[in-house]
Amino acid sequence: MATMTTGLSAVALYLPPYRVDLRRWCEWTGTDWDKIHKVVGTGFRLLGPRQSIYTMAANAVLRLIRQNDVDPSRVRYLALGTESSTDNSAGAIIIKGMVDAALKGLGLPTLSRNCEVPEFKHACLGGIYGLKNALRFLATDGGDSLAIVVCTDKALYERGSSGEPTQGAGAAALLLSRDPSIATIDLCEAGTASDYRTIDFRKPLINRNGTGASADFVDIPIYNGKYSTSCYVDEMQQALQDMYRKCGRRPVEHLRSLEAVFMHRPYQRMPETGLGMAYLFALAGGNAADHSELAAICAAADVAPEALRAEISSAPDFIAYAVRERVGEEIFPLCLKTLRAFRQTNTFARDVGSKITLGTDRMLELGNLYTAALPAWLAAGLQEARERNIELAGKEILLIGYGSGDAADAIPIRIVPGWQRAIECIAFDAALEPSIDLSHDQYLALRERSAPNELDYAPSAEFIVERIGQESNAVFQDAGIEYYRYVQ
């Protein structure tokens, strides 16, 4: 009996048209453009009037179906991954309703009436959890049906904070199936990890004065910079260690063998830091040859190898750092010092930098898409590989998902022959259009959820929020419920 394979068969993207140019943002705020360009990127998108995370998700799903000639009636699993929900009861069913209405209007079959519609929430990892469960569905009771996972989010930060230039909004939809067209995914090889970190990154549903529920503050996260970076590094390493054990391969050899790595990317520099640290951790846990290579890197950094390995194996108590007095401390100071020296080496360029180059230029424009960041980067990278005639068939690519310090997943995927045909349908550059550069006043107005002046945009072939319910009485209640319409 042949082994059943499941995996990824298509990707589609939706981005709102409202763009903030980060060079202009630097002029508005007096920020160093050279630093922002190098560390963060070149632009990001904001949700506009009559748009929501649900309309973005529905747009991405409908594009996925139409661009890939998917039979909607075969879709029996539609999962939503997001950390930006505005309804604490419904989620993916909202998207199904929108998509079904649009499909009917287009004269196409609707999604299956026997379709599961779960929502997954765990910060930026919700989409990956949705993907893993979609694969489990296909491998158990899914039969010959199809599964769609849509990741949709908006990232907003306080004005003047370090997070402000890393904002973003968008959605990515993934088609999962048996006998996949892009890549096979074997979850038996995937690593996972989780650990509670209290104040790393949260969105408590209370206002900043702690006086009770307030929707005005739902979108603005609480985070602690250095602590959050350390959480990212540690949780990612734990997931990788689990993957190494399952795959039965020497860690550094495994990393070197990868064709490419795509990770959650809150901003441009973070994947480089994460994968660079992963390489140092792999050397520290390796054999004598690995320790010799690590010693050479340590010598350039003026760090004692024994001290570095001790720091890596120390299993720090993160909760002890999650207090006002210690939250600004570096938890891995020797690792970061060593990484700075490692970045300057040819080994870093070959075994780290080269793994995360595909799709990077396009991703500079997207900002932080939270759950959609990883699938969007994967789409950008695969499209670039196709354009450059890089043959990926049979090659292993690593996906590293991450959820705000508390959880991470490391998932190897293998590209299948003929993958280029499916990638043609992504149309990444088309998803960047239309693009409307905002003025400073328009940017501020959109942040405050008001309609900016002179913002000329006519929706076409997309969903909009037509109105929001207002009634709440004994006869009828719809207060706060969004009503949608597909504009052809």
pLDDT, position 137: 98
The whole-number pLDDT of residue 455 equals: 87
- In angstroms, the CA 212 to CA 195 distance is 28
> Cβ neighbours of residue 264 under 8 Å, at least 6 residues apart?
124, 125, 270, 271, 373, 374, 400, 401, 402
**How buried is 312 (Cβ within 10 angstroms: 0-12 exposed, 13-18 middle, 19+ buried)?**
buried
Q: How far apart are CA 367 and CA 52, in angstroms?
A: 17
The pLDDT value given to residue 372: 98
User: What is the pLDDT, as a whole number, of residue 215?
Assistant: 46
Q: Can you give the pLDDT at residue 13?
A: 98
Look at residue 214 in the predicted model and tell me its pLDDT.
Answer: 44
pLDDT at position 206: 64
Domain boundaries, the chain: 6-195+223-487
- How many beta carbons lie within 10 A of that of residue 217, not counting itself? 16
Residue ranges in the chain modelled with pLDDT below 50: 1, 211-217
* Model pLDDT, residue 449: 82
Residue 204: the pLDDT is 84
- How far is residue 210's CA from residue 220's CA, in Å, rounded to a whole number? 14
Of 349, 4, 82, 386, the C-alpha closest to 95 is 82
Q: Enter the CATH code of domain 6-195+223-487.
A: 3.40.47.10
Q: Write the CA distances from 10 to 137, 235, 251, 426, integer angstroms.
A: 17, 29, 30, 8
Alpha helices per DSSP H over 188-268: 225-247, 251-257
Contacts of 238 (CB under 8 A, 6+ apart): 193, 195, 408
Does residue 389 come out as left (phi exceeding 0), alpha (psi in the -120 to 50 range) or beta? left
What is the per-residue pLDDT across 61-102, written as a single tens digit (0 to 9) for each? Answer: 999 999 999 999 999 999 999 999 999 999 999 999 999 999
Degrees, nearest 5: CA angle 264-265-268: 155
- Give the integer Cα–Cα distance in Å for 365 and 356: 16
Cα 466 from Cα 473, distance rounded (Å): 22
Find, among 235, 260, 384, 386, the residue nearest to 315 by Cα. 235
46: Cβ contacts below 8 Å, ≥ 6 apart: 16, 18, 19, 20, 154, 167, 169, 438, 443, 446, 447
Residue 451 has a pLDDT of 82
Q: What is the pLDDT of residues 203-228, one digit of tens each?
A: 887 655 554 444 444 578 988 989 99
The span from the CA of 128 to the CA of 131, in Å, is 5
Cα–Cα distance between 186 and 321 in angstroms, integer?
36
Report residue 389 CA to chain centroid gap.
26
Q: Are 44 and 19 in contact (CB under 8 A)?
A: yes
